[in-house]
Amino acid sequence: MNWKEFTAATIWLFGILLSILAIFAITQDVKIAVGVLSLSLGILAIIWVSIARKSLSPGSSLRAYTTHFLLSLIFVILFSLWNISDELYNFKGLLSYVGYLFLAVSYIVFLRAAYQILSIGKEFGFQTQALKIKSVMEAKQDSSEINKAIKQSRPKLIRKSKKVK
Amino acid sequence: MVANVSYKLKEELKDLKYYVAIATVNAKDYHKTNLDIIKHLISEKIPGVYVTLNRPFEDLLATFQKNNIDERMVIFIDAVTKTAGGELKKTDNCLFIGSPENLSDISVAMDQAVRAIPSNEKFVFFDSLSTLLLYNHAETVARFIHFLAGKMRVWKVRGIIVSLQKNKDNELINELTPFCDVTIDFGVAQ
């Protein structure tokens, strides 16, 4: 890390710390402050995933996985948002369970995304073929060594047979 | 003809252990030249990845076997069978990608296949730039080939990107030439 990068990193760190302090100062409640902080991180994650999704080819396995990942992130954010609202307005009755509904849905979508990544792993994994290539190459190496040995020993045999004659 | 192709490859790439080459082939000898390039690489005991956007895997496999090319040394990535609605038999050495438009999956599949090959020397054969142009905008294809050329250097492979000799493709080839080490012209009908 050079001096320029170090200065930039320090400024970034200072900025982040200042924003965290500002959140705590404005909300004056640890629970809400942590909630707002998690929410901002979640929104940043959503922005990054959306950009990634946009640049992937339509119909590709990766784009499908990214879509599910994005959906689960959205539901996690909704859960956080509901949690903060609950802290602020103190929901009663059925409304207090809505947050859990968001969390449950996000886990279901996460499970779907996990299954999709399992399929991608199976689909794009070439380990079986890699092992086959390895054994074919070893076999070829062995046969070429045998041929080499035969070629080297052949002149000696010819010379010996000439001497016998 | 194998001798001609081998000679041309050796002559053009004599000092290069790893390279990114664009091979321009005329339509008449297209399949034969492609086969000869692969035959040349496999005869040097180099395993590799064959990305086909033109001929289905089954067809390629039959041609390889007919021409005594060891198909066990190759991992195939087939982006044509699904598009053509052909039968998809799950095989160890071929991955069927949706269509030539699906550049993300092609990139991921190539990366995984190249990294899986247990050898220091390997090749990547991309067939072809012309087909890619049928399914994607020229700008997208240029960006993809630029990315692919960069990846081929990172993978340290013998990379060959095949293109038909067509006026339409020539503009793109000229644009891509700076990214590649060499352009080999297999154009003259033999």
Candidate from A1-10, B11-20, B88-97, B132-141 with smallest mean pLDDT: B88-97
Q: Is the dihedral of CA B41, B42, B45, B50 positive or negative?
A: positive
Which among B47, B103, B108 has the least Cβ separation from residue A133? B47
Q: Does B190 have pLDDT greater than 50?
A: no
Give, to the nearest 10 degrees, the angle between helix B30-43 and helix B57-66: 60
- Residues 84-143 of chain A whose Cβ lies under 8 A from any Cβ of chain B: 123-134, 136-137, 140-141
Q: What is the largest CA-CA distance in chain A?
A: 112
Look at residue B188 in the predicted model and tell me its pLDDT: 57
pLDDT at B162 over 70: yes
Categorize the per-residue pLDDT at A46 as very low, low, confident or very high, splitting at 50, 70 and 90.
very high
Q: Which of B58, B39, B57 is nearest to B48 (CA)?
A: B39
Question: pLDDT at residue B50 above 90?
Answer: yes
User: Would you say residue A165 has pLDDT above 60?
Assistant: no
CB A62 within 8 Å of CB B111:
no
Question: What mean pLDDT, rounded, does chain A reach?
Answer: 87
Tell me the per-residue pLDDT of B124-160, one tens digit each, with 9 for 90 and over: 999 989 899 999 998 899 999 999 999 999 999 999 9
Q: State pLDDT tens for residues A56-95.
A: 888 888 899 999 999 999 999 999 999 889 988 888 888 8
Residue of B nearest to A121 (CA): B112
Residues in chain B with CB shorter than 8 Å from the CB of A136 are 47, 70, 72-73
pLDDT for res B189: 47
Rounded to a whole number of angstroms, the distance from the CA of B115 to the nearest CA of chain A is 9
pLDDT at B183 over 50: yes
pLDDT over 90, % of chain A: 41
Q: What confidence tens digit (pLDDT) does each residue in A33-45 have?
A: 888 888 999 999 9
Residue A1 has what pLDDT?
73
Q: Which of A49-53, B2-6, B95-99, B156-160 has the lowest mean pLDDT?
A: B2-6
pLDDT at A157: 59
Q: Which residues of A touch B71 (CB under 8 A)?
A: none
Confidence at residue A107, expressed as pLDDT on a 0 to 100 scale: 96
Most B CBs within 10 A among A60, A67, A140, hence the mutation to make, goes to: A60
Q: How far is CA B185 from the centre of its chain?
A: 15
**Whether A61 contacts chain B with CB within 8 A:** yes
Give strand pairing partners of B124.
B49, B159
**Of the given ranges (A97-101, B82-86, B105-109, B124-128), which has the lowest mean pLDDT?**
B82-86
pLDDT at B176: 84
Read off φ and ψ for residue B158, nearest 5 degrees: -95, 100
Which one of A129, A131, A145 makes the best mutation probe of the B interface by having the most chain B beta carbons within 10 Å? A129
Query: Domain locations in chain B?
Result: 18-119+136-156+164-186
Top-confidence range, A68-82, B20-34, B100-114, B156-170: A68-82
Distance in angstroms (rounded) separating the CA atoms of residues A143 and A109: 53
pTM of the model: 0.77
pLDDT at A159: 64
- Would you say residue B52 has pLDDT above 70? yes
